[in-house]
Amino acid sequence: MAATHILTSDSHVKVAVTVPKLASLLPQGAFDTHVHVFDPTIGPYANNRAYTPEDAPLDRLIAFNKSISQHGSGNPIVLVQPSPYKSDCTVLLKCLQELQNQKRTAFGIAVVDLQTVKDTELGRMHELGVRGIRLNFQADGKEVDLVGLMTSIRTAAARIAHLPGWMIQLFVPGFVWDIIFDCVRTLPVPIIADHLGGMRGASKLGPDMALNPLQQPGLDSLIRLAQMSKVIIKISGLYRASDSTDTCYHDTRPLVEALSREAPDQCIWGSDWPHTGEGKDRVNGVLSVKEPFRSIDDSAILEKVKEWVGDGDVWQKLMTGNPSRIFQ
């Protein structure tokens, strides 16, 4: 599939960005529910971050977004606060304000200090389009503190329950869903499960589990929670779930098929632009060196997802119906 080459520049660097032409694959008004902006010129990275990313400013995101819309005007997006900013949402909020000024449909998922953030601050975020809080337990490659995770989930739910349409976005390893099942089932707000809910394709499973990836820990719990309308699952980041780059992550097919078949009303799609690296590779990383983004063929991935879920009602739900209902 052909690609568009966009030259972006600032005072220090010129970057050629290859943008796949996905517009013919996506329905009119399709939501991209997982994108990031990295721009240290409008907001500083946290000193205790796990990595320093390359720059991916708002103008590059808008260029990518326009390229995947049928008429080049842009599709609705959900800006997700990335981990290098920790709980400083300056960049997220400035970008949402600018997108609002441009009359673009955009929502946000923030990261906040649950102990110190004020309800008035959350209210202001809501006005700018924020519809949830992200808890990321995968960015630094460390083991998950399960007790701390459940405490954070309950605290977050209590803080946002009064805000209409707000959710908790959770990035955790797949097995965690078995452990937090009862916690999530009783929450007053829904959970968004990032990147296939942390499930893995056969190439990232042990030899025994690889024979039947649908038996991996956590998957049944994730599907049951989705069927209860307690969890929304992002079909995104397939390259995070698979090492099968030569087959366009084909080993994630059973997962995508199962999730979209068993919970068709609870699945949404996200490009995960601009495609950051892996948490496990960042342990003891050097913050003075910018981590490059991955080179990802968005067109090929989207073609596979469309093939796996089918070009019908489920595809329309995944791209437009579900996200337009969830993000309001």
Within 8 A by CB and 6+ apart from 255, the residues are 196, 199, 201, 213, 214, 219, 241
Of all residues in the chain, the percent with pLDDT exceeding 70 is 91
Q: What is the pLDDT of residues 67-102, one digit of tens each?
A: 888 878 899 999 999 999 999 999 999 999 999 999
Amino acid at 26: L
The answer to whether 188 and 164 have CB atoms below 8 angstroms apart is no
Q: List the structure tokens of 229.
A: 């309308």
Question: pTM (2 decimals)?
Answer: 0.91
What are the φ/ψ torsions at residue 302 (nearest 5 degrees)? -65, -35
pLDDT in tens, 306-324: 999 998 999 999 999 999 9
Distance from chain centroid for Cα 265:
18
Neighbouring residues of 328: CB distance < 8 A, sequence distance ≥ 6: 131, 165
- Of the pLDDT bands very low, low, confident and very high (cuts 50, 70, 90), residue 142 is low
**CA–CA gap between residue 9 and residue 12 (Å, rounded):** 8
Do 82 and 38 touch, CB atoms closer than 8 A?
A: yes
Domains identified in the chain and CATH numbers = 3-326 (3.20.20.140)
CA trace torsion 205, 210, 215, 219 (10° rounding)? 40
CA distances from 288 to 4, 210, 292 (A): 31, 38, 13
Residues 169-228: tens digit of each pLDDT:
999 999 999 999 999 999 999 999 999 999 999 999 989 899 999 999 999 999 999 999
